[in-house]
Amino acid sequence: MNISQLEYYVATMRCGSFSMAARELFVSPQAVSRGVNELERELDVALCVKTSHCIKPTPFGRVFSARASEILSCMLELEALAKAQSVAQAEEGAASLAVACSPCRGNIVHPEDLSLFKKAYPHVNLTITYHPSGTCLAALEEGVVDAAIIVGRTTKPGIDCVRLLSFPLGVLVSRDHPLASQRCVAIDDLQGFPLAAPEDLRYCHAIITDHLKAKGLDADYTALPPYIEDHRAFLNEGRGAFFVADDPLLETMYPDAILLPIVAEDLMTIPLCLAFEEDTENDAVPLVEHFLVGMATGIRRWRL
């Protein structure tokens, strides 16, 4: 028994003939007749009586037709409900996400990580842009974007902040740097060497500076323009060093440099967080949060 058979039978009982039912359902009379006959055969019960003028239900067929009509009505309601949900997803499923990006110091989240969102939520149109962390937060505060991945937490009123992961910092030096032969470095090892100023002024600058001071290093930073060539020159010609995220792309960006991990007792970790408007009315934002939390779990498991 299937839905088409029920439709054919109910329409036949309502119209009184196979031909009239076929016209109503936009199928052939033979299809309707075959469907009703198959239904009776599968149920092993007589549902209708054929006369020279019309087709009438048997006593059981009359009860069966009434219940079948209720079932078909419920099916139509379910289809309408699903269609309404589909339309709502297509119309309301949109969000914008600003992602903290460092052009010279390495990144934890890459575009290929976020590309999987479309597969997970095909009805949500997620617009993604990449900016410095401070710019991402400012865009969220101004209502330019619905959510932002930022470096460090924010305590701004009206903004929720969810920690996605924490990543350790390493030290990047040139291959001919005096520290390059070490397997790892302590903060004290950096004494006397030029250090590039942290890029993120809102969070990382204070965190790193305070950590260095606690370890007895009063850093005299060198400010670098946000360009690869300036960073390469600082490493190769100035015997400088700077803190970076452990990004595989650093090998391509700095082929003559080496990334040194920091010893456990001096380790610095930086939180990467998702920020969005408190009590947001955008139904797509919780989907973005759910995806990013899962993505961060994978990054922690396989990369950090």
Question: Within 13 Å, how many C-alpha atoms sit on residue 290's CB side?
Answer: 7
| 208 within 8 A of 268, measured Cβ to Cβ | yes
DSSP code at position 236:
H
Note the pLDDT of residue 238: 80
Report the candidate in 203, 196, 195 with the shortest Cα–Cα distance to residue 166: 203
Note the pLDDT of residue 106: 94
Note the pLDDT of residue 75: 81
pLDDT in tens, the chain (304 residues): 898 999 999 999 988 899 888 887 888 999 999 999 999 999 999 999 988 788 999 999 999 999 998 888 888 777 766 665 554 554 458 999 999 999 899 999 999 999 999 988 988 999 999 999 999 999 999 999 999 999 999 988 999 999 999 999 999 999 999 999 999 999 999 999 999 999 998 899 999 999 999 999 998 899 999 999 999 999 998 899 999 999 999 999 999 999 999 999 999 999 999 999 998 989 899 999 999 999 999 888 776 6
- 91 CB burial (10 A radius; 0-12, 13-18, 19+): exposed
Question: Within 13 Å, how many C-alpha atoms sit on residue 75's CB side?
Answer: 11
Give the separation between CA 264 and CA 169, rounded to whole angstroms. 11
Give the separation between CA 146 and CA 128, rounded to whole angstroms. 10
Report the candidate in 104, 98, 177 with the shortest Cα–Cα distance to residue 145: 98
Give the separation between CA 277 and CA 282, rounded to whole angstroms. 10
Give the separation between CA 300 and CA 304, rounded to whole angstroms. 5
Note the pLDDT of residue 96: 96
Note the pLDDT of residue 84: 55
- Going from the C-alpha of 212 to that of each of 67, 86, 152, 204, 269, the distances in angstroms are 78, 54, 18, 12, 13
- 188 CB burial (10 A radius; 0-12, 13-18, 19+): exposed
DSSP code at position 233:
H
Regarding beta strands 195-196 and 221-222, do their DSSP bridges make them parallel or antiparallel, or are they unpaired?
A: parallel
Residue with tokens 């269609």: 83
Is pTM beyond 0.85? Reply is no
Bridge partners (DSSP) listed for residue 100:
131
Residue with tokens 């095909």: 122
DSSP assignment string, 279-293: T---THHHHHHHHHH
The residue type of 7 is: E
- Going from the C-alpha of 74 to that of each of 30, 88, 208, the distances in angstroms are 27, 21, 63
- Going from the C-alpha of 229 to that of each of 131, 179, 254, the distances in angstroms are 19, 22, 10
